[in-house]
Amino acid sequence: MPKIERKKKITGARFDPTAPPRLSEREQIMQAIAESQRVADELARAQRDAERARLATQALGLAPAAAGNRGDGNFHIAFVQMGQGDCAVMSTPAGKIILIDCGTNSKDLENGAAYKDRIAAVLTGVRFLAATNVINVLILTHPDKDHYNRLGEVLPDAVTVELVYHSAALGDYGTVTSSWVHNHATDARFRRRLFLSRDPAGGRGANTMQPGDKLVPELIAAAPAMGSKIDKMEGARGLVVFDEGAGCKITLMAAGVDHDYTDETGKGDDDTGTHRNRGSVVTLVETFTKKILICGDATRSTERFMMLDAARRTALNDVDIIQVGHHGSNVTSSGQTFVDTVRPRHRAVISAGRRGNPKHHLPGKDVVDRYVQRFVASGHAADAVAHVVSAWGPFGTSADPLSVDVTQPVYSTGSSGTLYFDISPAGVIT
């Protein structure tokens, strides 16, 4: 702390134009009243937010939870530090649990027991599975191991799953995980493989759903599913799978895309031969006027598919938080047009390891820079505290990732750890 020098009182000192003006007694009183009013206004606003949360839980017949806990009337989400992998867990204002993916292919040198305990502590914490063993919706974006292979290790043995959505046959998710899903989501009608890939321009793809082993007709009209579960098409915008009104609506915007959409230069997305990545489920969460977009391993083809339709493109505009596609890959994902379409307003989150798997080079520094420049172009204020994102340069340029100094709200779980966000009924993100 710098030393503070005290000025000696000098009689007859000359006027200093740089000194702050002295306030009269009346002005000091008025300033104190204004500050008191500001504090009172903030307190009243906080009380109104708490009352809205209380009414939201009361309207749903729920006992109010303590602030900061699942079911407290706020929306909670965590992007879990998985190493080189993906996992997002959220709880709705009414206390429902949604889990998207849970896997890794590199733990960043963390030993197995510590890794398992750390992730389990997030998933079973007070915001999420504490005091419940029910996952209301599980979304498995696609069958890459780093998105599913830790489900059975980090979740409680007694957990049950009400509804599962996946973009490939369950058997493609490996014997261990597919068995886990069958054992914990026991009603085959609510294990649903999706194809949300209808292309309005080229006539490619389809919008179909396969519950259990039964293929159902194309999803065209809005149609509620059996029981209390919701499957409702909103035109080409996507399939609504969860609806809690203004508190939380979840729409799946793409699944099973297999066409390689080339850009204006004729370049494709360089996806694998199985098209697993471009087939990822893309999830849009809308809560208290805020939007969260979770991309899985979506590629530039998935991005272009979603931008083909005006309704989908509008839904993508101005998301508040985006989980960047394919761990920030510059080879397959985060095309400039897509980044300029989503225009994130609060955070861009990259789920990737600090070093990860060196042969994959995730995230790419170019993608980090692309999102940083998008925030700059949008005129959003820089973060108050600079931070570091571990990112890779182009292939062949380095055997290790770079430490990139970032002052815009672009974060990596590998560099910053698990990232938590809470959204109040007033739409305040903390």
Answer yes or no: are the C-beta atoms of 80 and 123 closer than 8 Å. Answer: yes
Q: What is the DSSP letter of 205?
A: -
Q: Answer whether the bond into residue 363 is a cis peptide, omega within 30°.
A: yes
Q: How far apart are CA 277 and CA 324, in angstroms?
A: 13
**96: its two tokens:** 């429902």
Domain 68-423, architecture per CATH:
4-Layer Sandwich (3.60)
Q: How far apart are CA 352 and CA 108, in angstroms?
A: 10
**171: its two tokens:** 């058997």
Q: How far apart are CA 286 and CA 284, in angstroms?
A: 7
- Reported as type and span, the H/E element at residue 59 is helix 25-59
Q: What is the DSSP letter of 143?
A: S
Tokens 């200093």 sit at which residue? 16
Phi/psi of residue 69, each to 5°? -105, 160
- Other Cβ atoms less than 10 A from the Cβ of 340: the count is 13
Q: What angle do CA 269, 252, 211 make, to 5 degrees?
A: 105
- CA-wise closest residue to 197 among 139, 236, 250, 143: 236
- CA-wise closest residue to 314 among 261, 411, 238: 238
Answer yes or no: are the C-beta atoms of 410 and 379 closer than 8 Å. Answer: no
Q: For residue 101, which amino acid is it?
A: D
Answer yes or no: are the C-beta atoms of 111 and 138 closer than 8 Å. Answer: no
- Reported as type and span, the H/E element at residue 25 is helix 25-59
E runs forming strands in 307-423: 321-323, 347-350, 387-391, 402-406, 410-412, 419-423
E runs forming strands in 14-167: 75-79, 85-91, 97-104, 134-135, 137-140, 160-161, 164-166
Q: What is the DSSP letter of 392?
A: B
The three-class DSSP label of residue 193 is strand
pLDDT in tens, the chain (430 residues): 444 444 444 444 444 444 445 666 676 666 666 656 654 554 455 445 445 555 555 555 555 678 789 999 999 999 999 999 999 999 999 999 999 999 999 888 888 899 999 999 999 999 999 989 999 999 999 999 999 999 999 999 999 999 999 999 999 999 999 999 999 998 888 899 999 999 877 889 988 888 775 655 555 444 444 444 678 888 889 999 999 999 999 999 999 999 999 877 777 887 877 779 999 999 999 999 999 999 999 999 999 999 999 999 999 999 999 999 999 999 999 999 999 999 999 999 999 988 877 777 889 999 999 999 999 999 877 887 899 999 998 876 777 888 999 999 999 999 999 999 999 999 999 9
**343: its two tokens:** 């225009």
Write down the pTM of the prediction.
Answer: 0.83
